[in-house]
Amino acid sequence: MHPLITAALRAGITMVIAFGLFGQVVIIPTTAADEVDRFPGYAPFATPYTVLAVLGVACVQVALVAVWRLLGMARHGAIFAPRAFRWVDVVIGSSAVATALAIGAAAHLAVAEIPSPDDGMEITGALAAAVTAAGIGASFAMLTVIMRSLLRKATALQTEMAEVI
What confidence tens digit (pLDDT) does each residue in 31-75 have? 999 989 988 888 999 999 999 999 999 999 999 999 999 999 988
Where is pLDDT greater, at 51 or 83?
51
Provide the Cα torsion 50, 101, 109, 54; round to 10°: 10
pLDDT level of residue 163 (50, 70, 90 thresholds): confident
CB atoms within 10 A of CB 141: 19
Q: What pTM did the predictor assign?
A: 0.87
Q: How far apart are CA 78 and CA 69, in angstroms?
A: 11
Average pLDDT over residues 90-98: 97
